[in-house]
Structure formats: C-alpha cells, structure tokens
Structure 1
Amino acid sequence: MSQTVVVTGGTGFIAQYCILALLDAGYRVRSTVRSLAREAEVRGHLKVAGAEPGDRLSFVVADLTADAGWAEATAGCAYVIHGASPTPTGDQTREDEWIRPAVDGNLRVLRAARGAGVKRVVLTSAFGAICAGHGPMNRPFNETDWSDLTAKNIWPYQKSKTLAERAAWDFIAHEGRGLELSAVNPVTVLGPVLGADYSHSIRLIKNIMDGQPGNPKINSGFVDVRDVADLHLRAMTQAAAKGERFLAIAGESMWLADVAKVLKERMGPAGSKISTRALPNAVVRLGALKDPALRGAVPLLGLNLNATSEKAMRLLGWTARPREEAIVATAESLIRLGLLADS
C-alpha cells in the first residue's frame, strides 16, 4: 500500500499506536507535531514497540491553534486520523482554554482535509462526549448518547470533547462537500506504555501499583490501546463506518477496587504495595477539599459508567482483548520501563 495517512498529534499514546497499526498494515504515515524536536521521542517510542519505519514515517509541524502547516500535512493523503487534542496545563484553567482550541482545531483539520481531497477523517473523540451530565442509567451507554452540558459539575475536558465532536459533525453536514467522517469514542485507554510521557489514564494503574491508600468508588470502562488503534483503522477503511461514531470498551465497566484486585492477583511480588480497599465517599470528599486531583472524582462517586461496543462489533467486526489483559499489560510495561515509584 502506497497510500499516506496523516496522524495528528504523534506524541500522543493512542496516536502512536495508530501509527504502529498503519505501518504494520503497509501504509506510509505523516504525523503532525507541534515541534520537530519531538520527532526523536516519537521514533524512540515506536522502537520500544519494535518498529523502525525509516522514511515510511515523516513529520510536519502543525498546531491546532494556527493555520500554518495543515495544508502541507494533508496534501496528497488518502485519510486522516485526528487524535491531537489541546490539554491546557499550569494556570490554564478557564473553560475557553479547553474548548476553543478543541473546537477550532477540529475545524482546522477538517477544512485542510477537505481542501486536500482526503476521503475520510477518523476523529479520536472520547467517552467524555457521551457519558457526562447523566444521572444513574438503567442501561449501558451507547453511541446515541451525548453528554448533557446543561448539568452541573461537567469538567472542561468533557465539554471540550463534546463540543468539538459536535462541531465536526456539523461541519460535515453543512460544509463537508463529500468529505467523510467517523468518530471513535474510547473509554479509559490502557495498554503497554512506550515511554515516560504517558497519558492520564495510565496514571490510574501507576497510582494503584505505587500503593495509594485506597480506591475511590469510581466506575470506568477500560480498553487496550492496541484495540483502539485497530478500531481506528476499521473506521478509516470500512464503508459501514461512514458517518458513524463507535464506542470502544472491553467487556463491562469495573470499580477501581476491582481493578486493584486484578493487579493484586496477577502481579505477584510486584503488587505488594497494592491496596484493594474501597475508600468511603466521605473520605474522598474530605480529601478533595485539599487535593485538586481528587475534585474531579467527586461527581463520579458511585456512578455506574458501563457502556457497550456492540455497534463496533456488529458493523465493523471489531473485537477487544479482555479488560484484565489491558490492565495487566499496563502494569507490566510500567515495571519494564522503570516508571513506578522506587523502581
């Protein structure tokens, strides 16, 4: 296959596994980064996974907040996998510092793809565009659900993902001019870490392995990054994926205390620090008064966030490895790369 696929945000966890899957399938890949200084890091991560693509992988500087570079990035490409997403850091806490770059960035990529004659864009959205703002559900979340942004306690991240995905669908409906769109909405993404710059979701496993004193009563779905990448490729090439969104989850959701139990049982001596205790909600709420990292957890306490990937399985033939395998693979990679405390 001589087709070139753009993968935006090549420094990202999911993006790097999409690059690996594309290379394995015979594509050439062009990745966007905000600085070419990150190229060596990305290539180093791919090498950890056993890939040394040479000139089959190239890099272009393009930032979601500016037009420069996007026409060059998409020129001559058949598909775009758009996983780049702005993540404000430091004192960037205002909602518009999350939302504006996410919405504008999606539109920037879609306009460039349309202008370059790209066939289809696969958008890496999130479960946060599906599950936020809902009370207790009597069924698993599915692709017909959208986050309710009128509800209280919606995180800026969830708002940005929801508004950015809606903006993308609106663009396709009114200005797409034949450009196709599919979206992938993964739950918490785990799997083998490739380097020290890992995603927020990996920190859940790291914290458990490092011996956090207990587990908030938080429920989450889990999915392996390798299966998320596979779903992106299926959404990119299969006719049935046109105009559809696909939730990615392996089996049913789990409580964090049960995740800790899996690790305790499967990791042997490496799991000696693990606490399988479920923290009382009152303890978490009290801790959130002092610890900003806990504040986001409070609205989720006790909520079952189960979801289903029946649609991806039925339409695209997608399957996911067991959630336990994703959990254990994450922990094993953290140990292998020396990323746990005291390692």
Structure 2
Amino acid sequence: MSTVLVTGGSGYVASHLILKLLQDGYTIRTTLRSLSKEQQVRSTLQNAGAVHMDRLSFHAADLTHDKGWEEAVQGCSYVHHVASPFPGHTPKDENELIIPAREGTLRVLKAARDARVKRVVFTSSFATIGYGDKDRQGPYTENDWSVLDGLPAYHKSKTLAEKAAWDFIEAEGGGLELSVVNPVGIFGPVLSNDMSSSIDLVVKLMDGSIPKCPRTYFNIVDVRDLADLHIRAMLDPAAKGGRFIASSDGKPLALFDVARIISQGRPEKARKVPTGEMPTWIVRLAAIFSPTARQAVPFLDVIRSLNNEKPKKVLGWTPRAAQDTILDTVDSLVEHRIV
C-alpha cells in the first residue's frame, strides 16, 4: 500500500484520519511540532484500537519553518494537510493566525510538489464558504467564497490559506493534484482531551455552563465521516481539483436542538442540560459585560443553509445522522471523564 503523510498528527481530525488509514492498510507518516508528543499520540491511538502501529512514524515539522518538511514528505504518494493554527482565544493581531496558516500551507504544497506526490488533500473549512455576506440567503455550495471584509481572524486565515493553495497549484503546482475538504462543525467520539472546538459546546451544555441556549445555529459533521471523505478525496480521480463541503445535512441545527437530542437520547447524562432558549435581546444585553456573550452576538439568529450533495454524488460519501453523532459525542465525553 502507498505511504501517506498526515500533518498535525496530535489533532482531533488527524487522529481519526490516521486510525482509518492504518485500518485500510496504509503506511503513515505524521508531523508534530515537537516529537515530545509522540508517545502521547501513540497511546491515544492504541487506546482507540489502532492496528498496525508499526506502520506509523513521526517527523518533527512546524508550519512556520522549512525544516523537516522535505524529509517528512519524501517517498509519499499522498499528503493530507490537516494541521492549522486554531486559537483558544481571539488573537490581538489576526496575522498570528493568517501567516502560519497561509505560509504553512504553501510549505506543505511545495514540499509535496518537489517530492512528486500525486495528490494533496487540504482540510479547509466551511468558514471559507459561508461567511461575510449578510445579504446571502443560501444554500451555500462549493462555488461560494466567504467575503473577507469583517471576517473573524480564524475564518480569514482559513480563507486566505485555501485561496493561496489554489493559486499555487495553478501557477507552480506542476503535476501535483489538489482536493479540498470544507467541514462544518466537527463532532463525534473524542479519543482524548484533545478535541475540536465544536465539541466544547456539548461539554458546556452538559456541565451547566450554558443555563439557557442562545439562538445560534450550526451544521454538523461526524469526525469519522470526515476521515472517510478525506480518503475518498485522496483516491477518487473525480476529486481532482474539487472542493467538497462536509456536512451531515444541509439544514443547520439550533443549539437548543442539540440540547434536546442529548436530553431525550441520554436523559441520565443530561441533568444539567438547558431546557429552554435565551431571548436574543438578553444575550445582547449580557454582551455589554460578558466576553463570552460578546462572542456569540455575531452568530445570533443567523441560519446558514448549505448543499451537501456534491461529495455524496461525486464521491459516494454517506454521512451518518447528526443525532447519532451527537449521542456518540456525549458517550465518549462521559467515557473519558471530560464531563
């Protein structure tokens, strides 16, 4: 089987992708900013039931430096560029995110081109598609791009990184192929305390941090389905040069819908889950005093519908129902004693 590089191997999505690739028989290399995390990542994967761990090797490489990328990618047939900076808080300077996201993507692409890799699958985001145009009604498709003016720093970093990737392939890519996956909010079983920022919403619903649900809406994709879509985008000739929205459904869920799914599906674990919605005017009032409430304000009452047919029709992708994903997320959070 082919050798595949997965960047950012300690991350939530990358861990699930490595699990699936190992199960499918590939030899895997993965990058870490520091090899001091190698044993921790190995233990996480082993505890999750990883097979053929002898086929997995680790390489030190940082998105902000050239060192290590040439060695990491040498001899690989495919590269999954999953690593991207994600802040725990809004940075004072948006370039703290934009520069490593864009320059890191270009480093990976250049190394892949020079090593004669067949295809790079780039983990982008729905943040590059459905934001910034307040007059846009949707449903959003892969033909849409977020409007940069006024975008939050993370959304802007992902958009500029993806645009740079497409520009590079067109101008300097040589024979290198590119496919891009654009996931919405990523949920599903956690393998450790390292999880997607989306799952923190479920944690806050379950631990009582959210007394009532603000009127926010978001789409969901299961991390296991996302890993499957990455592999389809890697192998299918029809994925060459394509973007693929990864979402279990086209219609977003309200945060209150998520709370209700948990309460009805796992009532014994839902004692602190909110049972009502908070009026938007109260959230706006709270935002005067609360930084947490302030972060929610731009997303209040905004419903972004999308079309998720392309990966299903072109690549044969079949995502599971959002309800199953949410309940599996809950079960894993309890199993790992996060809630």
Q: Quote the offset at 1:21 in angstroms.
A: 1.1
* TM-score computed with the length of structure 1 as normaliser: 0.95
User: How much does 1:199 deviate?
Assistant: 1.8
Match of 2:125 in 1: 126
Quick check: 2:221–2:246 contact (8 Å CA) kept in 1? Answer: yes
Q: Structure 2 matches for 1:1-343, cutoff 5 A?
A: 1=1, 3-88=2-87, 92-135=91-134, 137-150=136-149, 152=150, 154-211=151-208, 212-251=210-249, 252-340=251-339
In the alignment, structure 1 segments of 5+ residues that lack a partner are none
* Residue 74 to residue 202, structure 1, CA distance change in 2 (3 Å): same
* CA deviations over 1:16-55 (Å, ceiling 9, x no partner): 1110111111101000000111111211221232114332
The secondary structure found in structure 2 opposite 1:185 is strand
Equivalent AA in structure 1 for residue 19 of structure 2: L
Gap runs ≥5 in structure 2: none
TM-score by length of 2: 0.96
Which amino acid in the other structure matches residue 203 of structure 1? D
Mapped contact 1:184–1:247 kept (Cα < 8 A):
yes
Distance in structure 2 (CA, Å) of the matches to 1:305 and 1:43: 38
Deviates most, 229-238 or 247-256:
247-256
CA–CA separation in structure 1 for the residues paired with 2:110 and 2:321: 38
Shift of 1:68: 0.2
Over the matched positions of the two proteins, sequence identity in percent amounts to 49
Name the CA distance, whole Å, in 1 between partners of 2:152 and 2:90: 16
How many residue pairs end up in the alignment?
337
Q: Distance in 2 between matches of 1:180 and 1:111?
A: 12
Q: What do the CA deviations read for 1:233-264 (whole angstroms, capped 9, x no partner)?
A: 00001000000000011122101011110111
Residue aligned with 2:277, SS: coil
Q: What SS does the corresponding residue of 1:236 show, helix, strand or coil?
A: helix
Structure 1 vs Structure 2 CA RMSD: 1.3
Q: Which amino acid aligns with 1:113?
A: A
Deviation of 1:308 (Å)? 2.0
Separation in 2, partners of 1:255, 1:42: 34
Q: Which amino acid aligns with 2:171?
A: H
Question: Residue by residue, what CA displacement relative to the aligned partner does 1:173-227 show, whole Å, maximum 9, x if unpaired?
Answer: 0000010000000000000001112221110111111122011111100010000
Q: For 1:274 and 1:231, how far apart are their aligned partners in 2? A: 32
Alpha-carbon separation, structure 2, partners of 1:278 and 1:91: 26
Contact 1:263 1:328 survives alignment (8 Å) = yes
Residues 239-296 of structure 1 show CA distances to partners (whole Å, capped at 9, x for unaligned) of 0000000001112210101111011100121111111311111222223333323333
